[in-house]
């Protein structure tokens, strides 16, 4: 399966995991609710930008949307680490989703770099 198709499905599944985690956080204290809101926005934005990139009007538009998805993945990774380090959610509960965030960042970085190289070679 090529990376672009893989990232589309993985980012969607990742968003579902983020939504489910945020549902739990929303039932806790004010800090947890605030962090849940930040995590929900960035974690679901990854897949939305990947979807938009698939319908990009140009190669440059595709690269821009995938770059935004990568930025959102990095932000999501930050919120997940913050939840872990502040002991709001246990390491065991977050280790797999943090690992998936890392992998998504790597995939998006590879897609952006490859696309930028191909785009500059086409000029």
Mean pLDDT of 65-76: 98
Mean pLDDT calculated for residue range 81-91: 95
**What's the whole-number mean pLDDT along residues 20-39?**
96
| CA–CA gap between residue 8 and residue 97 (Å, rounded) | 17
pLDDT at position 5 over 90 = no
Kind and range of the H or E run holding 51: helix 30-54
Per-residue confidence (pLDDT) for residue 1, from 0 to 100: 45
Domain count across the chain: 1
Q: What is the pTM of this model?
A: 0.90
Give the number of residues written for the chain.
123
Predicted pLDDT of residue 99 = 97
CATH number at residue 83: 1.20.1440.60
A 10 A CB-CB count for 94 gives 18
- Domain residues for the domain of 117 are 3-121
């Amino acid at each position: 399966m090529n990376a672009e198709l893989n990232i589309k499905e993985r980012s969607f599944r990742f968003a579902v995991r983020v939504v489910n985690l945020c549902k739990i956080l929303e039932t806790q204290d004010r800090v947890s609710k605030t962090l849940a809101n930040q995590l929900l926005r960035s974690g679901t934005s990854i897949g939305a930008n990947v979807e938009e990139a698939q319908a990009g009007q140009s190669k440059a538009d595709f690269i821009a949307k995938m770059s935004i998805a990568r930025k959102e993945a990095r932000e999501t990774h930050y919120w997940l680490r913050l939840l872990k380090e502040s002991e709001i959610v246990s390491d065991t509960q977050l280790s797999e989703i943090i690992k998936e965030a890392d992998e998504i960042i790597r995939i998006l970085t590879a897609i952006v770099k490859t696309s930028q190289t191909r785009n500059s070679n086409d000029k």
